[in-house]
Amino acid sequence: MDQFIQQMVNGISLGSIYALIALGYTMVYGIIKLINFAHGDVYMIGAYIGFAATTYANLGFFPALIISMVSCAVLGVVVEKIAYKPLRNSSRIAVLITAIGVSLLLEYVMMFFVGAEVRSYPKLLSDKVILLGDVRINMQQVYIVATAIALMILLQFIVHKTKTGKAMRAVSIDKDAAQLMGIKVDQTISYTFAIGSAFAGAAGVLVGIYYNSIDPLMGIMPGLKAFVAAVFGGIGSIPGAMIGGLSIGIMETLVSGYGNSMYRDAAVFAFLILILILKPAGLLGKNTREKV
């Protein structure tokens, strides 16, 4: 039982990071029906910005987190304006291919500037360990989960209590009707990219602390797993993305703890296939009918 609880603790820590990345996927899809495959690489750049802030500027955890979030928010808006906005009325396949191209561009531009080698993340948090019987909870896990919960609560407040959030919900329901009501659709889409990218930047700093290493290709697999989390929760659903991220994190740690860590990625993608067969709309997603 202690081993099971330990794996659950580890899974919640890892799942909190996946949930933050998945929120960006689900928000952008909810607004413009785009799977932004460059989102995982925004998270990677966030990790490097946090690394630079702590290594070269000697800043602490929270200043590095804020700088990373702000920088990634700006990057997300720039990517949307340059790469996605001109293709807004194009076919979905054109936008999807563009998203993959932006992903590769961010990876190799970053590799050009920082090199391809793996870098060790500096120690930002205490090594103190809390013991609950045989279950070990270190301070890094506490900070990761607390930060993720705080950001998710902040997102819920923005979406449900602010004018920007109401505009985002209106655009996600009916973009044309929202525009007729005086909502600035382009501005709302930019806000959505900014918020989603800021959360990815926060996840980048947290994952650097969690794994203690970063590299320019680190965004590929977590980005895909966060996409799986978003699909599982119901793409377009913010609570669904949170539940999906935690579920994927727990699944990974249970497969690693009771099986073989080599199969954890295979288990996640097998789970995606199962979801798409049994419940394509996801856990909290809604089935929509299209008129022919």
State the Cα angle at 38 between 33 and 44, rounded to 5°: 140
| Strand ranges for the chain from DSSP E | 119-120, 129-132, 135-138, 213-214
Contacts of 152 (CB under 8 A, 6+ apart): 19, 20, 23, 242
Q: Residue 115: its pLDDT value, please? A: 87
Residue 202 CA to residue 40 CA, distance in Å, equals 12
* Direct distance between the N- and C-terminal alpha carbons of the chain, in angstroms, rounded to an integer: 54
Decide which of 98 and 211 is more confident. Answer: 98
237-254 pLDDT, tens per residue? 888 888 889 989 998 888
Q: How confident is the model at residue 25 (pLDDT cuts 50, 70, 90)?
A: confident
Nearest to 284 by CA among 20, 11, 30: 30
Q: What percent of the chain has pLDDT over 90?
A: 30
Domain boundaries along the sequence of the chain: 2-218
Answer whether 0.85 is exceeded by the pTM. yes
Assigned token pair, 265: 């990625």
Assigned token pair, 85: 């906005």
Q: Residue 292: its pLDDT value, please? A: 45
Assigned token pair, 107: 């990876």
Q: How confident is the model at residue 291 (pLDDT cuts 50, 70, 90)?
A: very low
Assigned token pair, 168: 């985002």
Least confident of 74-83, 121-130, 206-215, 241-250: 121-130
Compute the CA torsion angle 58, 59, 60, 61 (nearest 10 deg): -120
Long-range Cβ pairs for the range 284-289 (8 Å, 24+): 284/233, 284/234, 284/237, 284/239, 284/240, 284/243, 285/233, 285/234, 285/235, 285/236, 285/237, 285/240, 286/234
Assigned token pair, 139: 């301070």
pLDDT at residue 172 above 90?
no
